[in-house]
Amino acid sequence: MLNLQIIKEPQAGQNLVVITGKSSCNQIPGLTEQESGYVQKSVDLGLKTIMINRYSQVIIIQILEYEKPRTELKEAARKTSYMIYSILKEQKITSFTVTEQNHDSELLLAFAEGFVLSDYSFTKYLNNKEEKSVPFQSLRLVIPSGNLPGLKSLHYCLEAVYLARDLVNEPVNYLTAVKLSEEIKQIARNSGFSVEVFDKLQIESLKMGGLLAVNMGSPEPPTFSIMEWKPVKAVNSRPIVLVGKGIVFDTGGLSLKPTPDSMDSMKSDMAGAAAVIGVMYAISKANLPLHVIGLVPATDNRPGGEACAPGDVITMHNGLSVEVLNTDAEGRLILADALSFAKKYEPELVIDIATLTGAAAAAIGQQGIVAMGNADDNVFAMLTDCGYQVYERIVRFPLWDEYSEMIKSDIADLKNIGGKYAGAITAGKFLERFTSYPWIHLDIAGSAFLKTGDSYRGKGATGSGLRILFELLKRIADIQH
Ligand code: BES
Ligand code: ZN
Ligand code: ZN
Q: What is the C-alpha to C-alpha distance for residues 314 and 321, in angstroms, rounded to an integer? A: 6
Distance 272 CA to ligand 3 centre (A): 11
Average pLDDT estimate for 229-236: 97
Query: How much of the chain exceeds pLDDT 90, in percent?
Result: 96
Q: Cα–Cα distances in Å, from 238 out to 227, 235, 344?
A: 15, 9, 11
374 and 436 Cβ atoms separated by less than 8 Å: no
Q: Ligand 1 atom 17: the closest Cα is on which residue? A: 329
pLDDT in tens, 87-143: 999 999 999 999 999 999 999 999 999 999 999 999 999 998 766 667 899 999 999
- Cα of 154 from ligand 1 centre, angstroms: 32
Q: Which of 254, 302, 357 to mutate to test the pocket of ligand 1 (most atoms within 8 A of CB)?
A: 357
- Residue with more model confidence, 178 or 131: 178
Those residues with Cβ within 8 angstroms of residue 326's Cβ, 6 or more apart along the chain or in another chain: 255, 310, 416, 417
Q: Per residue in 442-455, pLDDT tens?
A: 999 999 999 999 99
Residue extents of the structural domains in the chain: 3-145, 154-480
Ligand 1 residue neighbourhood (C-beta within 6 Å): 250, 269, 326, 328-331, 355-359, 361, 417, 423, 445
- Average pLDDT value over all residues in the chain: 97
Of ligand 1's atoms, which has the minimum distance to the CA of residue 418?
19
Q: What is the pLDDT of residue 135?
A: 81
Helical axes 466-480 vs 271-285, angle rounded to 10°:
40
Judged against a pLDDT cut of 80, whether residue 190 lies above it is answered with yes
Residue-wise pLDDT tens digits, 20-60: 999 998 889 999 999 999 999 999 999 999 999 998 999 99
Q: What is the 3-state secondary structure (H, E, C) of the chain?
A: CCEEEEECCCCCCCCEEEEECHHHCCCCCCCCHHHHHHHHHHHHCCCCEEEEECCCCEEEEEECCCCCCHHHHHHHHHHHHHHHHHHHHHCCCCEEEEEECCCCHHHHHHHHHHHHHHCCCCCCCCCCHHHHCCCCCEEEEECCCCCCCCHHHHHHHHHHHHHHHHHHHCCCCCCCHHHHHHHHHHHHHHHCCEEEEECHHHHHHCCCHHHHHHHCCCCCCCEEEEEEECCCCCCCCCCEEEEECEEEEECCCCCCCCCCCCHHHHHHHHHHHHHHHHHHHHHHHCCCCCCEEEEEEEEEECCCCCCCCCCEEEECCCCCEEEECCCCCCHHHHHHHHHHHHHHHCCCEEEEEECCCHHHHHHHCCCCEEEEECCCHHHHHHHHHHHHHHCCCEEECCCCHHHHHHHCCCCCCEECCCCCCCHHHHHHHHHHCCCCCCEEEEECCCCCEECCCCHHHCCEECCCCHHHHHHHHHHHHHHHC
- Whole-prediction pTM: 0.98
Contact present, 102 and 19 (Cβ < 8 Å): no
Rounded CA separation 464/164 (Å)? 9
Cα–Cα distance measured from residue 20 to residue 421, given in angstroms and rounded to the nearest whole number? 48
* Listed residue (241, 275, 327, 211) closest to 449, CA to CA: 275
Q: Output the pLDDT for position 59.
A: 97
* 332: annotated active-site residue: yes
**CATH number for the 154-480 domain, one of 3.40.920.10, 3.90.1300.10, 3.40.630.10, 3.50.50.60?**
3.40.630.10
One of 89, 257, 343, 475 is an active-site residue; which one? 257
- C-beta separation of 124 from 167 below 8 A: no
Give dist(CA 31, CA 33) in Å, integer. Answer: 6
Decide which of 3.40.50.1370, 3.40.47.10, 2.30.30.30, 3.40.220.10 is the CATH code for 3-145.
3.40.220.10
Q: Calculate helix-pair angle for 466-480, 377-390, nearest 10 degrees.
A: 130
From the CB of residue 325, how many other CB atoms can be counted at a distance below 10 Å? 16
pLDDT digits over 325-372, tens only?
999 999 999 999 999 999 999 999 999 999 999 999 999 999 999 999
Alpha-carbon distance 393 to 385, whole Å? 8
pLDDT at res. 70? 98
Q: Whose CA is nearest to atom 16 of ligand 1?
A: 329
CA distance 288 to 411: 47
